[in-house]
Amino acid sequence: MTTATEVKPRIISTAQSIQEALVEEFRRDERVFVMGQDLQKGVDGGTAALFNEFGGERVRDCPISENAFVGAAVGAAAVGMRPIVTSSCCFMWAAMDSLISQAAKMQYMFGGQASLPLVFRMTELWGGSMAAHHSDRIHPLFMQIPGFKVVMASNPYDSKGLLKTAIREDDPVIFFEDRMAGAARGPVPLEDYTVPFGVADIKRAGSDVTIVGVGGMVNMALKAAEQLEAEGVSVEVVDPRTIVPLDRDTILESVAKTGRLVTVDIAHKRCSVASEISAMVAEHGFGSLKAPIKRVATENVHIPFSTALEPLCYPTPDKIADAVRETLA
């Protein structure tokens, strides 16, 4: 647990905590700059304040050339800058060659000649009737491709601390911003702090069932845990916070205690983070399990526009609670 308790913290939103992290890191290190679309007017992610303080050289509005500006971030990092790219994850399909062929592979393929201090902030804005082109949740892909460290934060405190770690890290980091995590509010101290990669946080302690959620699904899992508490079921909610590196030990220790596991991911179920964590526990913690593992994730279908259909796709607290009940049946 890394939550600071010494200072009475303020309650702010995740969006605000991310903005604070950016401003503070921009002030701390002049090599940090950001590229993306519509940043200066702040359409995506409250970057207008950054522009007002640091100007257009460091807050760079880009044309709709995702592959070029993502690749440019790689080149700038290779010569000593610390670029941040901000985008909806849905637009990153157009940048996949730069992401995979260059950002992910450059350090290894050139034998460690380059360090690439890169951060890709990718928003995952599902659930807004935006249909299939604007509702993607693509984070499991980057768990599969070596070369990225991948952050999935669930609350304002972790978001700020993990983003600071990401900006200071000398490796390519993808920082996913889940819509549900973005809406969260919580305590964030005023003083400088970071949250380390690869250290899970137990967001709620319990003894009967372990739920591992990632990103905003942690908050949904906490809601499910409240429902289940009324039924006398004690749920432990583990938040990995980074999916690469993944804190296997904390997850396995929790499952060793509870003997039951539900994994929750907002990505499509097939080959999701829920799948990977389930496989990891089946491989390394099978002896602890008292019941089959359950995965709760998004239906393997494109996200439809209609408000009659879209909500059917995603995990809900009820679906998570049902999965927990099944492990206890």
Partner 1 sequence: MTVDADRAASESLEGSRDLLIEMQRRMLRIRLLETQVMKLVKIGAETAGPYHLYTGEEAVAVGACLALRDDDYITGTHRSHGHPIAKGGDLRKAMAELLGKRTGYCKGKGGSMHLADFSIGVLGESGIVGSAMPTAIGAALGSKLQGNDRVVVCFFGDGAVNSGPFHETLNLASIWKLPVIFVCENNMYAITTAARDMMAVPEVAVRASNYAMPGVVVDGQDVVAVHRAVATAVTRARTGDGPSLIEAKTYRYDDHSVGLQRIVRTPYRTDDEIAAWQGDRDPLTIHAAYLRDNAVMTEAELAELQSEVADAIADALTFARESPFPDASELYDDMFTVPISAD
Give the residue numbers annotated as catalytic, written as ranges. 134
Show the binding pattern over residues 114-133: x = contacts partner 1 (CB under 8 A), - = does not.
xxx-----------------
Q: Which stretch binds partner 1 (CB under 8 A): 56-64, 221-229, 255-263, 321-329?
A: 56-64
Q: Which residue lies nearer to partner 1 by CB, 65 or 306?
A: 65
Closest approach, Cβ 207 to partner 1, in A, equals 28
Site size for partner 1 (CB under 8 A)? 49
Q: Is 292 in the site for partner 1 (CB under 8 A)?
A: no
Q: Contact between 251 and partner 1 (CB under 8 A)?
A: no
72 binds partner 1 (CB under 8 A): yes
Considering only residues 165 to 184 of the shown chain, the ones binding partner 1 according to CB under 8 A are: 169-171
Residue 293 found at the interface with partner 1 (CB under 8 A): no
Of 228-247, binders to partner 1 (CB under 8 A) are 244-245
- Structural contact between residues 236 and 254, judged by C-beta atoms closer than 8 angstroms: yes
Q: Are 142 and 148 in contact (CB under 8 A)?
A: yes
Q: Which of 29, 53, 97, 229 binds partner 1 (CB under 8 A)?
A: 97
Q: Does 99 sit near partner 1 (CB under 8 A)?
A: no
Task: Sketch the per residue contact string, 128 through 157, with partner 1: x for CB under 8 A, - otherwise.
Answer: ------------------xx-x--------
Write the binding mask 14 to 33 for partner 1: x where contact by CB under 8 A, - elsewhere: -------------------x
Closer by beta carbon to partner 1, 63 or else 232: 63
Q: Which is nearer to partner 1, 149 or 260 (CB)?
A: 149
Q: Give a three-class secondary structure readout of the chain.
A: CCCCCCCCCEEEEHHHHHHHHHHHHHHHCCCEEEEECCCCCCCCCCCHHHHHHHCCCCEEECCCCHHHHHHHHHHHHHCCCEEEEEEEHHHHHHHHHHHHHHHHCHHHHCCCCCCCCEEEEEEECCCCCCCHHHCCCCHHHHHHCCCCEEEECCCHHHHHHHHHHHHHCCCEEEEEEEHHHHCCEEEECCCCCCCCCCCCEEEECCCCEEEEECCCHHHHHHHHHHHHHHCCCCEEEEECCEEECCCHHHHHHHHHHHCCEEEEEEEECCCCHHHHHHHHHHHHCHHHCCCCCEEEEECCCCCCCCCCCHHHHCCCHHHHHHHHHHHHC
Residues that bind partner 1 (CB under 8 A): 33, 57-58, 62-63, 65, 67-81, 83, 97-98, 101-102, 106-116, 146-147, 149, 169-171, 197-198, 244-245, 248, 280
